[in-house]
Amino acid sequence: MKSKHSRLYTDIARQRIIRIYKLAVERARQGDVEYARRLGLYAWNLYKSTRVRIPRYIKRGICRRCGTPLIPGLTARVRLHSQGGMSYVTVTCLYCGWMRRYRYH
């Protein structure tokens, strides 16, 4: 068993994931979704292999199936709806159809 990652290591890994994610979003906005998806996958794999804490907007901002950065109106469809007195957000990846529902606060 390897020892726990050092603080410095996790900080660096987190910064890298955030940077790659931002780059992916930028690329997607520029219309280069193919490249954005590769960056998204890379960021997600980095997250999975390091298991560092990353901001929720990134966790929810990458399609778990194809890696596309989920941008409302561009690469993702976002719908608000309520059920049983609770509000939900449904995010659908427009590229592979992956869907995720979240509680909305």
| Residues within the interface to Zn ion (CB under 5 A) | 63, 65-66, 68, 93, 95-96, 98
Nearest distance from C-beta of residue 43 to Zn ion, angstroms: 14
Residue 100, CA distances (Å) to 15, 35, 57 in order: 25, 23, 14
Q: What ranges make up the beta strands (E) of the chain?
A: 76-83, 86-93, 99-103
| Contact between residue 27 and residue 36 where contact means Cβ atoms under 8 Å apart | yes
Nearer to Zn ion, 13 or 43 (CB): 43
Q: Cβ contacts of residue 44 below 8 Å, gap of 6+?
A: 62, 64, 67
Nearer to Zn ion, 12 or 74 (CB): 74
Nearest distance from C-beta of residue 29 to Zn ion, angstroms: 17
How far is it, in rounded angstroms, from Cα 19 to Cα 46?
A: 12
Nearest distance from C-beta of residue 55 to Zn ion, angstroms: 20
Nearer to Zn ion, 88 or 98 (CB): 98
Nearest distance from C-beta of residue 8 to Zn ion, angstroms: 33
**3-state class of 88 per DSSP?**
strand
